[in-house]
Amino acid sequence: MTTTEQQTDPRVIFTPSGRRGRFPTGTTVLDAGRSLGVDIDSVCGGRGLCGRCQVTPGVGSFPKHGIVSAADHLSPEGAIEAEYRRARGLIEGRRLSCTAVVHGDVLIDVPPESQVHRQVVRKGLDVRTFTVDPVVRLHYVVVPPADLARPGGDLARLFGELERDWALTGLEADLGVIRTLQPALERDGGRVTVAVHEGRSVIAVWPGLHERIYGVAVDVGSTTIAGHLADLADGSVLASSGVMNPQIRFGEDLMSRVSYAMLHDGGAAEMTRVVRDALTSLVAGLAASGSIAAADIVDVAVVGNPIMHHLLLGIDPIPLGSAPFALATDRAVQTMAAEIELGGVHPGARVYVLPCIAGHVGADTAGVILAEESQRAERMRLTVDIGTNAEIVLGTKDRLLAASSPTGPAFEGAQISAGQRAAPGAIERVRIDRATLEPRFRVIGSPRWSDEPGFASVERRLGVSGICGSGIVEAIAELFLAGIVTADGVIDGSLAERTPRVVPDGRTYSYVLHEPAGDGPRILVTQNDVRAIQLAKAALYAGVRLLMDHLGVDEVAEIRLAGAFGSQIDLLHAMVLGLIPDCDLAMAAPAGNAAGTGALIALLSAAARREIEAVVRTVEKIETAVEPRFQEHFVDAMAFPHRTAPYPHLRAAIELPTTRTITDTGEDGRAERRRRRVVAAGSREDR
């Protein structure tokens, strides 16, 4: 309500907010809305240029709101609006609220796209609904020319207009803005658009009306660097892309990169340089894909595990390689793009790096929490981001715990005889007939099962090159369900009598998943493959169980699996193997690349940044390496699905086999040696 309202003044009611007031005839709809605190966007400051403030006047009687609204209760379309309609188009019934003037009672609907804080539901990106609350905003102003009689600075005059039109006070400006302000002012008669960061710092200036600025959200993984390009005003994602992390040439896994830094002078700096170069390429590619100028990118949000975080920021990662695994900082880092040598973007571009949680639980996990809203969970929720390490978050809105468990690279297809990265031709789905013990499978790139007609053409086209992480989990789970692999993880050689698929392989047995028709590889599941998955899943389960102990709970109510592998595996098969604890399968779901999604949310919402910074401080960090119970849990978790855990939900969903126990399988000693290393206190070989 305005304080000066008269009972005879026209009534203006805004939907969906329901805010209402009386305003003198002649008030613009935008001014009326603003004075009521209605959320209406504008870049041009009510000059009829940007079209962000569009509204739809109601026509007819609205008994619920107690008014009769009519199109002619607003001023007719004027010259500015007509010009906008001619040049840019205006949906039928829409008005520019900055030019439409109130003449009588009117109901005004503010469509979502005209709201600054609009709700965003993103499909395909697995983004929860969140409110875009831009950290960097555009403001258009017309700066009066310098005046000989009142000499002063261009910057002071700009600040004056920003205060007058946009109520921005206490502003500061980058030196780069001061450098470019004068030519920008000159180019278009003092009309400029500025980008303001956090309502405080002017970080960019353009001549005339500049309508769009962009941001990039990046997940710097050890293997892949993935990014989304988003419009900072409406949160729309224009392009998503990934590049390989070129640090791979210094070591496949994180620990070997730390070793590289330890063993080579300047090694860390070299890895910093290549990851920064890759980020610059990624951003250039995103800009090209999104058909925008990279120089219009003004903000970047970054997540990554602690070692990627440190290397990108140019911080020595060596302390993260050994106890006490001390982070240089567990605060969010706010810096300039130039400070991390990110090229091509606007010179004033900012970089926001989400906070790391602990030495093994990085900003990527902070991103997962932000994306999955773990801090708002009503029921006990387990969220796991599975990569070379599994980052585990467990708890409810009242208490959150986080830990990292050294699963190793088996889930990514490494250490598996036929393992490969998830790529076309890789086996990703497996079924084994309980009676015949015959397999069927699907490869990435085709929906056809291997026992369906026409699979031969799929095989010719894609090849059947190996098994990806989700494929090996499914294969071993099916082998267990078919009784070929025992609960202890032994391939039962006695079955060689029943099926030619079980074949001797040295002193152990393998299962032949695929005999190639042409010259492709024969694809086996070996005893060592089973052992590698047992070790990985036992490490994951032991970490989860440790957090459950800390919380004093025996079961979890909800499960979210994030990461490329976590999003692809079949949850039933994962539970059959005991990767995850027992849970109602209806309450388990994949979470996609939640870390990258978290980066996107942080990119688009200042409130989300403040929230994750606060949440991270309250998360309790559990260091698996120093917990003696981790070793006990690890040993118990080696069996399928588990030596002692009853798994009632799983048993209700599927019948588990009763397999015999085979001792002394004669397997070679590699897997056993690795198991011993993981069990040994403090051993963290793959961080």
Residues in contact with a second copy by the rule CB under 8 A? 145-156, 172-173, 175, 178-179, 181-183, 186, 313-316, 319, 323-331, 333-335, 339, 356, 358-359, 621, 623, 625-626
Min dist. Cβ of residue 366 to a second copy (A): 13
- 390 vs 468, which CB is nearer to a second copy? 390
- 204 vs 313, which CB is nearer to a second copy? 313
Min dist. Cβ of residue 508 to a second copy (A): 38
Determine the distance from the C-alpha atom of residue 504 to the mean position of all C-alpha atoms in its chain, rounded to a whole number.
Answer: 44
Min dist. Cβ of residue 434 to a second copy (A): 47
Min dist. Cβ of residue 325 to a second copy (A): 6
Length of the chain: 687
Long-range Cβ contacts of 267-273 (<8 Å, 24+ apart): 268/311, 268/316, 268/317, 268/318, 269/314, 271/247, 271/311, 272/311, 272/312, 272/314, 273/341
- 300 vs 580, which CB is nearer to a second copy? 300
Min dist. Cβ of residue 177 to a second copy (A): 9
Locate all alpha helices (DSSP H) within 552-669, ordered by sequence.
563-568, 571-577, 594-604, 606-618, 628-636, 648-653
- 325 vs 509, which CB is nearer to a second copy? 325
**Neighbour-count burial for 492-502, b at 16+ CB within 10 Å, e otherwise:** bbebeeeeebb
Min dist. Cβ of residue 352 to a second copy (A): 12
In angstroms, the first-to-last Cα distance of the chain is 59
- 106 vs 313, which CB is nearer to a second copy? 313
Two structure tokens written together for 574: 């994962």
Return the SS3 of 222. Answer: coil
Residues 6+ positions from 79 with CB-CB distance below 8 Å: none
- 117 vs 187, which CB is nearer to a second copy? 187
- 322 vs 499, which CB is nearer to a second copy? 322
Determine the distance from the C-alpha atom of residue 366 to the mean position of all C-alpha atoms in its chain, rounded to a whole number.
Answer: 10
Q: Is 441 left (phi over 0), alpha (psi -120 to 50) or beta?
A: beta
Cα–Cα dist 197/160, whole Å: 17
Two structure tokens written together for 39: 């959320």
- 358 vs 472, which CB is nearer to a second copy? 358
- 179 vs 264, which CB is nearer to a second copy? 179
- 361 vs 482, which CB is nearer to a second copy? 361
Min dist. Cβ of residue 269 to a second copy (A): 11
Q: Name the residue among 229, 234, 345 with its Cα closest to residue 293.
A: 345
* E strands present in 354-425: 381-386, 390-396, 399-405
Min dist. Cβ of residue 124 to a second copy (A): 34
Two structure tokens written together for 198: 């956090």
Min dist. Cβ of residue 291 to a second copy (A): 31
The H or E element that residue 370 is part of is helix 363-372
Q: Is 75 exposed, middle or buried (0-12, 13-18, 19+ CB in 10 A)?
A: middle
Min dist. Cβ of residue 460 to a second copy (A): 53
